[in-house]
Chains A and B, each alone.
Chain A
């Protein structure tokens, strides 16, 4: 009995402590940032961005929450408790595009603003969706990164994932559309590493042998970019051949320091959490309306323009280089 009693008492203490902390500003707008699961660096960083937005706005309280593991059922329990607390807005990165729709619809029926970010919900379950970036912006960014460090132009090659990878193919297509804007940059080949570390490594070696004048390798895949950077380092061509594309700061930190990669890009989770909060606030306070063609302000991130599906892209992918890699390598 005593153990149970102790458990209950500690639960009461914990509960009242949280209740007191939670009810400090009752008149604030309460915005819930719901993530796929707690304890993931990417989402912790997004929560940091949300807090930054809350500080800037002043009258906002952020509820950062999510299930223990990445299930739709867990997120529905979280959504139900947020509905019960009558929060003003829910900004969610969804574990399931469809299964959350009934629960989120109920939230909207009860007057709660619902948006999705990062990982979207089907249109009937949210007012709008915020993509971290767009295919066109990514396609432009990967060639721009190569061009930035080649003022006199030169040969560049693409190391992609598999030949059937939808994402990579779309980005390369978008890149080819804008490559004429970067005169002197000559895309000589596209090879496929199938998102396998060893195959990507061999393909990168092959590129260096076939094209002795190669100046840069663009790898729009987090596996390929690491493998290519390793191949360049092993061939002692770090500084000669610049490896760039899309990668994760935690995996690329070493290669940025060694000079094999001068810069690369990926979305910035802090900006994403910040923007989602700004949008949720503007929609919840009726300062903006989510409809096709609308432009919703996002504070320091400018504004987002919605397409026919009420989806919008936040910004260019964020560029990571020697100046900021240390700050982000521990985050994701």
Chain B
């Protein structure tokens, strides 16, 4: 394609040019979808393009996306954590309990983070220490963590969080930019650097592509995976702080079903569910697409089930399209 008529034939040093790679990439497609969703929403509802409304809409995805970043790394490494929503429930319950003991806001935050870390460490130890499959372990801890919340709370709720605690889920950093949105942006940058610019990130990809090969190349596979579970637990703890602060109360059913929404977001973001590939910008775009689609449909009062169908269809399209595309391009070449 890039061959010129005159002059010596150029021998490519990579499979495709940077521009080709950029235009053909998953992230570009997602960006196009995001722009399309934005455009359609603006056309469809006069209320969409309003700074405050858009700001409110970001709450639809910020907390889930925070967990999604850590989940992306975990899935790239070939593992998964389905207990994230239950970690939120347990961390939130622990914070509610701490309120009854008279803890102040900083101690509450510490409680939430600590419970997240402990839960992550528990998952990580079972997976890397005992060599159990993560999907089975975390289905177990999914029931275990939320079960503890149900035992503690039953049909009761913890309320009475200090008013300064409300900042994390209801506060604004500047104008329409909420604390959650700022945190989401900061974490996106941190995780993008961690995955794409550090040795640790390279190790995560290496493990996902070939764990045995990675082990023989001197990567401490178990340790990296343990850290990833810790990170996922920690991010769930942070999400628990934001969500609890936003709701101003804790019930054991808090964040019910979020694990699947987080995994959906990550897969939609182009993270290979089998491990080995995917990027953080992809997850960021997927989060925005999902949030804006949900909000756009909400503005038109489209029933929730239609949104679920749309997201489901989008997800299947996302996974199927690259394969269909590959098959077609192979077919034409043969």
Contact = CB atoms under 8 A, between A and B. Distances in A.
A99 B56 CA distance: 16
A72 B45 CA distance: 25
Contacts of A12: 40, 43-44
A19 B45 contact: yes
Interface string A267-288: 0000000000000000000000
Interface stretch (B73-81, B140-148, B179-187, B243-251): B243-251
Given A4-B33, A97-B157, A81 B257 contact: no
Contacts of B279: none
Contacts of B97: none
Contacts of A220: none
B128 interface: no
Contacts of A205: none
B100 interface: no
B56 to A, nearest CB: 5
A85 B299 contact: yes
A3 B251 CA distance: 41
A99 B300 contact: no
Contacts of B307: 68
Contacts of A78: 298, 304
Contact of A68 (B33, B301, B305): B305
**Chain B contact residues, majority secondary structure:** helix
A84 B295 CA distance: 10
Contact of A83 (B56, B157, B166): B56
B200 interface: no
Interface string B285-301: 00000000011101111
B221 interface: no
Interface residues of B, number: 53
B47 interface: yes
Contacts of B253: 71-72
Contacts of A66: 304
B210 interface: no
Contacts of A18: 44, 300-302
A96 B244 CA distance: 13
A176 interface: no
A38 interface: yes
A59 interface: no
Nearest to B303: A38
A98 B248 contact: yes
Contacts of B50: 84
A80 B61 CA distance: 13
Given A7-B317, A8-B40, A99 B310 contact: no
Nearest to B247: A99
A67 B256 CA distance: 13
A72 B252 CA distance: 12
A99 B313 contact: no
Interface of A: 1, 3-4, 7-8, 11-12, 14-16, 18-19, 22-23, 38-39, 63, 65-69, 71-74, 76-78, 80-81, 83-86, 96-99, 101-102
